[in-house]
Amino acid sequence: MDKGAHFYRCDFQVHSPRDIAYTGNKYGLNPEEIENITPEQKEKITLEREQFSKEYLQKIRDAGLNAIAMTDHHDVVFVKQLRKVAELQNQEFKSNSEFEKIITVFPGIEMSLANPVSQCIIIFDSDFSDSNLDSVLNFFGINPTNEFEKVTTPTLKISQTVINDLVHLHEKLDELSYCKGRYVILPNVGKSGDHTIMRSGFHEHYRKMPCVGGYVDKAISTESGYQNKLNGGDVNYGNKSIALISTSDNRYEDGREFGKYSTWIKWAEPTAEAIKQACLAKESRISQVEPELPQIFIHSIDVTTSKFLGTFNINLNRQYNALIGGRGTGKSTILEYLRWGLCDQTIQNSDFDELSIIEKRREALIQKTLADVNGEVRIAMEKNGILHIVKRNSKSREILLRIGNGDFQQVKEDDIRKILPIQSYSQKQLSDVGVKTDELKRFIEQPITNRLDSIKFNLNETGTKLKNSYNQLIRKKEIEQEIENFNLESQSLNNQAENIRKSLKGVSTADQETINKKPKFEKEETIISNSKNELTVFENKADELLRLLENYPEPLGDIEQLENKDLIQNISNEIDLTFVEIKATALAFKAIFSSEKLLKLNEFIQQWNLRKETFEIAYELSKGNSQSSQQQLLEIQRIEKRLSEINKIISDRKLLLKEIGTPEEDFTAQRLNWQKYHTEKVTLLNEQAVKFTELSKNLIKAEVTKSINLQPFKSQLKNIFEGTRIREERIDSVVDIIKQSADPIKEYTAILEEFRQLAELKVSEDKTLKIPDTPLLTNCGYTEDHKSKLCSKLSSEDWLRLSASELEFNPEFYYTTNNQLGDVIPFREASAGQQATALLTVLLNQPGIPLLIDQPEDDIDNRAIDQIIKNIWEAKKKRQLIFTSHNANLVVNGDAELVICCDYKDSTSQTRGIIKEEGAIDKKLVRNEITSVMEGGEKAFKLRKDKYGF
């Protein structure tokens, strides 16, 4: 686990059997029996209390609590016993790595004050010594009840002469060196009752008290006036805001109140200072409901060796991590190692001279500090409870990935970016985004990457199907035109042959009849050939089906870990039986084409072949009998040969048409799909643009619908138009009409349809080859001459390239200068600070993947720091933050869960860096580092306290 702050579910008012109002078994003697108590009785009481403590702790554990404070009235006897048992149990849990079972026990005292007449609880560090607990009671003049008595004596209020008020209580405790800095006082701030300081007339005590939090018995009232006071909205209460801690006040042996009334409190170490710091940052460190935490986060970074930082390992917090330190101590280096290890590279060009400054700097950093010493970066990242580990070698550039308990496997950079994405920005990079369209687009597209990828895949598939169906459509039209042409030739040849036959001279009637039978036999041969070809088609299909069935069904595999394995096995068995039936049917289908099954058909064909052979002999004799018409007979023979060829060609073409089917239907469907997926894409981008505006708190507005990137379209048209002498302004007019349309995608589709009509004129059924009506192109200034040139120049391949491509969108971004009036300016015209502040606002309001920023304060408008801090409080519930910073406000009042302090190993040479300290701001050493090295460190802590009047 990292060394930062984490949430723990707490109950800070738990009572022991010594409490007067406790319900259950008591462990001890009555007052009159104490004087004669024996060692055996003492031992028995101690053992009983020890057993009770074990059972009590288990009840606490079962209720889902992680920490409790036992706060008996003016008594500390039982908490010492309970804590001793808890410490022994916790040691065992740690050794068994059962960290979730650990219960932290804070020692505490519930005190009744005479002034103000109220109650408060004092909670000490979890390791506060037993002897010091006793000393605190003595210091306040409390005579403790004998430790072996069943219950404590009735509680007497602490005299006003001893403790004058809550300010005085703090002063008195600070007089004790062993107490100062090791306690926190929580007054009772319930809405009503005899023990709360929220009673009428007590507002002055509330206003003056130096307490940063208070406790409530049971549930916290939601009454607006009460909440307004505690949230600093009432001037009579000094506009003091304090944290509220709900407690069970449990006095039942069965622990029935455990878990009903509890508070989640965040700390790094279980100390009173941690509780105090949590109260000072109640927005992010205290919660009455189970806190929301990021489900995707970088777990750790481990570097085997680096030239500057050597070997190091950092376990990161799943919420807000801040890397601090003097300039050049390695903060940015760690961030860059994280980015490099997770392949967050924007380098697309291998030419070093053309890389951006940021990219060059990163490449040089990796080469000089890692590659030169053969360093390897290893990063563990958790996604929804599954640990992913990436190992990237700086020398070989090999990338290995392990998912969960699987083996390491070699992967590519794109694989890591897809599986383990992050959002990251180098120094000053955020303020540079405003002028880069692609970077701004990333803000819109990043949260919906998977859905956009899905649409992209569908569009690619649609594009492929569109090309195939269109090619088939064109092929069908070409074949139909070929058949029509061959039919015309066949008609001409048949007329010629018939006329020649009629004009034959010197041919007997019998020979004439034989010669006239020739075209009939030719037609019969065509019929038989067509029929055999049709059978062959289905025989081939049977073979294809049988080959396909060789790979089905998929083996079921191991189902032992499945919930409904019996049912799944039954389903699988039925599927297997179904495939057995399919295969049997396929084999039966194939058997239809066997010699045995086709015996009768083959006999009929054989009979026809014999008749054909007999006819051919008679035909040749008949031709030979007419010596005077040999020339005409040869011409008939030539024509018949050509007719036979044509019949074969037409037969083949018709078979092809049957194979092609109805591509026009598929083409129309794919065109509609193309339009549908683009509409889906625009709708999705528009929805995200609205969310983007909301996430920016309306600082940025984005428009998508009319922002189609038509530059690729224009470039393609220019290539097509080359040589036609159609001026570029005609192309621009087409682009403009699409952009200006209320529905650009529909308009784009309509324009493409007109280009298609021009491209297809060559294969059109229109015999006049009249140029089709294209009103949109006419409105764009295209003349009949222009269209005629396009008809001859534009090919179906050209049209496909135009129509099958995916359209991209470059959203237009605007900066809102006046939210009330809605005044906007182009985003690029806003100042760098305005741009960066608006974009950081989006990033901090956007849930999801880890966000890494190197010194965000360098980019943002300084006046926006307070709002950015509030955004950080909310952001770290939904995404992991990893920032480097010199601004103490971002770290302290942003309430970083983990602060990583970087420093020079040797301040004189400054050639090596180290991780000097890790922890949260409730750790003194971390606070010292913040104060000493960060700009405005002391001021930030003072601001944190002044906020609560502390």
- DSSP of 711-725: HHHHHHHHHHHTTTT
Average pLDDT, the chain: 89
The per-residue pLDDT for 289 is 94
pLDDT band of 944, cuts 50, 70, 90: low
The per-residue pLDDT for 435 is 63
Q: For residues 320 and 900, what is the distance between their CA atoms, to the nearest angstrom?
A: 11
The per-residue pLDDT for 509 is 80
Task: For the chain, give every domain's residue range.
Answer: 6-287, 296-422+849-946
Report the phi/psi class of residue 575: left, alpha or beta, with left for phi > 0 and alpha for psi in -120 to 50.
alpha
The per-residue pLDDT for 919 is 94
**At CB < 8 A and 24+ separation, what contacts does 380-385 make?**
380/298, 380/299, 380/300, 380/302, 381/296, 381/297, 381/298, 381/299, 381/342, 381/420, 381/850, 382/296, 382/297, 382/299, 382/318, 383/295, 383/296, 383/419, 383/420, 384/295, 384/296, 385/295
The per-residue pLDDT for 189 is 97
Contact 716, 793 (CB under 8 A): no
pLDDT at 794 over 90: no
pLDDT at 505 over 80: no
pLDDT at 910 over 80: no
The distance of Cα 73 from the centroid of its chain, to the nearest Å, equals 51
- Whole-model pTM over 0.85: no
Closest CA to 225 of 246, 203, 253, 254: 203
Question: What is the signed CA dihedral for 606, 607, 608, 612, rounded to 10 degrees?
Answer: 100
pLDDT band of 766, cuts 50, 70, 90: low
Q: For residues 737 and 376, what is the distance between their CA atoms, to the nearest angstrom?
A: 55
Which residue type sits at 603?
Answer: E
Q: For residues 841 and 827, what is the distance between their CA atoms, to the nearest angstrom?
A: 15
pLDDT band of 328, cuts 50, 70, 90: confident
The per-residue pLDDT for 945 is 63
Consecutive H or E run containing 13: strand 6-14
The per-residue pLDDT for 768 is 54
The per-residue pLDDT for 821 is 63
Class of domain 296-422+849-946: alpha beta
pLDDT at 430 over 80: no
pLDDT at 947 over 60: no
| CATH architecture, range 6-287 | Alpha-Beta Barrel (3.20)
Q: For residues 770 and 444, what is the distance between their CA atoms, to the nearest angstrom?
A: 47
pLDDT at 437 over 80: no
